[in-house]
Amino acid sequence: MSQELQISDGMKKISIDKVVVNIAVGKSGEPLERAKKALQELTGQLPSARGAKKNYRDFGIHKGEPIAAIVTLRRKIAQEFLKRIIAAKANTFLASSFDNMGNISLGIHEHIDIPGTRYNPEVGIVGMNVSVALVRPGYRIARKRNKGKVGKKHRITKEDSIAYFQKEYGVAIA
């Protein structure tokens, strides 16, 4: 193998950038505190509250009022949590869960479906959204001071993302 081919293969390697776990409860107070506690038990990270973007008079929600809890996981913690999520989804993802940028979003109906999670009566049962962002080396150039662009051949497509999850995690696509 030539050295040029090895370098290009190394730059095409896909990895997990981050896993974002979100529980939206729709109101502040006790339900939000329970959601935060559930996220902390699941991830071992301290969650942060997210406010409403707009007023929703029918639901009694005001702009800026905290209505959701969120945690961002990276590196080893993200990979370990993702393995638990894949097990909770029975190693099967829908093709419609993948977007055209190579990211995937999943919904978990009950957090106690995740392996290693016990029911806690103080928390109850909550559902959550899990989003996984994939990257290749060189993606940070779009975020630097002198912004560059990621070329079309280097972007992660839906097919690349599906192939990554099938190869690395043995996920079946329905």
Measured distance CA(169)–CA(64) in Å, rounded:
39
Cβ neighbours for 133, distance < 8 A, ≥ 6 positions apart: 16, 17, 18, 19, 20, 103
Residue that is written with structure tokens 């999520």 in the block: 85
Domains and CATH numbers, the chain: 13-173 (3.30.1440.10)
pLDDT tens across 36-75, in order? 888 888 888 888 888 777 777 777 777 877 888 899 999 9
Averaged confidence pLDDT in the chain: 82
pTM above 0.85, yes or no: no
- Measured between alpha carbons, how far is 37 from 131 in angstroms, rounded to an integer? 20
User: How much is the pLDDT for 25?
Assistant: 83
pLDDT at position 8: 55
Q: What is the pLDDT of residues 39-50, one digit of tens each?
A: 888 888 888 888
- What confidence score (pLDDT) does residue 144 get? 63
Q: E-assigned strands of 63-135?
A: 66-73, 92-93, 104-108, 128-135
Contacts of 164 (CB under 8 A, 6+ apart): 14, 134
